[in-house]
Amino acid sequence: MDSSANEPKELIIVQNISFSYGYTDVLTDVTFSINSGDFLAVIGPNGSGKTTLIKIILGLLKPNQGGIRIMGKPLDEFTDWSSLGYVPQKATHIDPFFPVSVKEVVHMGLLSSRKFPRFSKKEEELSAHRALTHVGMERFKNWRIGNLSGGQQQRVFIARAIVNQPDILFLDEPTTGVDAETQEHFYDMLDKLNKKEGITIVLITHDYGVVNKHVTQVACLNQRLVYHGSHEEFCRSEAFKEILAEGHHMISHRH
């Protein structure tokens, strides 16, 4: 969390990324950048390459073409993984019987920053406590993760992702399977992390209708980057009209 982040700087640069699974093109020549302080929504229909793009940025998938720079460094030279937080999509589909407590889940997040000699135990406890307090889950710390509701689990996964006080937080469809009211609280919490803590947020969603009042930037994907810019301009753009014309699918996919 950089307090001197008043002037936007480019945290992540995505350059001419193309990716295909076998013969199916998923992403074609995608170029854009993410500035510090952004609250970016990555939107697009199912299969438009949203998750693939995030996985490429995080080094989980190798692009066929193009490159990523994170904080000025090419991806393969980047080592400061604790400055990135990631809440993967399947987090809502975790094994409900896995015997792991909320506290243990949050401690997992500390592993990326653990070096020899490692953080003192006290410091780790404090970081975990702080992260859980942030998401309002401190009193559940000894609960088994499977005994929590979907929304509560997501809060815990966010706590795990922010326990290292990252500069940037990636969330892939974080509110899938979460009721509308909880969703509102959830996005308010992300707002707070973005505005008060200065954490840059990259949010994959197909519910633009729900998140649009929170985000500052939009990247609209449909294999290619259809639009990238501010939320206000997006609403006036051709891309937005097209999406509206295409119907409800893109804006709100939930039934």
Partner 1 sequence: MKMEAFLSYGFLQRALLAGVFVAIACALLGVFLILKRDAMIGHGLAHVTFAGVALGLLLNIMPLAMALAIAVLTALGIMKLKETAGLYGDTAIAIFSSVGFALGILLVTLAHSFNVDLFGYLFGEILAINTSEVWLSVVLALIVVLIVILNYHKFMYVTFDREAAKASGIKVGHLDVALTVLTAVTIVLGMKVVGILLVSALVVIPAAAGLQLAANFKQAIVLSSIVAVISVVLGLFLAFYFDFPASGSIVILSFLFFGFSFLFKRLRR
Can you tell me which of 105, 169, 202, 215 binds partner 1, judged by CB under 8 A? 105
Can you tell me which of 8, 76, 98, 177 binds partner 1, judged by CB under 8 A? 98
Q: What is the C-alpha separation between 180 and 199, in angstroms, rounded?
A: 24
Can you tell me which of 20, 101, 165, 182 binds partner 1, judged by CB under 8 A? 101
Q: Give the shortest CB-164-to-partner 1 separation in angstroms.
A: 9
Kindly give the residue spans of alpha helices, DSSP state H, lying in 42-140. 50-57, 102-108, 121-134
Identify whether the C-beta of residue 193 lies closer than 8 Å to the C-beta of residue 186: no
Residue among 17, 44, 18, 46 nearest 32 (CA): 17
Residue among 147, 171, 149, 150 nearest 160 (CA): 171
**Which residue number, 3 or 79, has a Cβ lying nearer to partner 1?**
79
Binding mask 127-156 for partner 1 (x = CB under 8 A): ---------------x-x------------
Binding residues for partner 1, total number by CB under 8 A: 32
* The token pair that represents 22 in the structure block: 């076998």
**Which residue number, 21 or 97, has a Cβ lying nearer to partner 1?**
97
**Which residue number, 108 or 126, has a Cβ lying nearer to partner 1?**
108
- ∠70-74-80 over CA atoms, to 5°? 55
Q: What is the C-alpha separation between 150 and 21, in angstroms, rounded?
A: 31
**Which residue number, 20 or 212, has a Cβ lying nearer to partner 1?**
20
Identify whether the C-beta of residue 188 lies closer than 8 Å to the C-beta of residue 199: no
Binding mask 159-188 for partner 1 (x = CB under 8 A): -xx---------------------------
**Which residue number, 1 or 58, has a Cβ lying nearer to partner 1?**
58
Can you tell me which of 37, 109, 151, 174 binds partner 1, judged by CB under 8 A? 109
* The token pair that represents 177 in the structure block: 């399977």
Helix, strand, coil: what percent of the chain each, to 5?
40, 25, 35
Q: Give the shortest CB-104-to-partner 1 separation in angstroms.
A: 5
Question: From residue 171, how far is each of 6, 85, 112, 126, 176 by CA, in Å?
Answer: 23, 8, 18, 24, 11
Q: What is the C-alpha separation between 255 and 252, in angstroms, rounded?
A: 8
Can you tell me which of 5, 58, 75, 251 binds partner 1, judged by CB under 8 A? 58
Residues 68-97 contacting partner 1, CB under 8 A: 79, 81-82, 84, 86-88, 90-91, 94-95, 97
Can you tell me which of 10, 29, 47, 60 binds partner 1, judged by CB under 8 A? 60
Q: Which residues bind partner 1 (CB under 8 A)?
A: 58-60, 79, 81-82, 84, 86-88, 90-91, 94-95, 97-101, 103-105, 107-109, 111-112, 142, 144, 157, 160-161
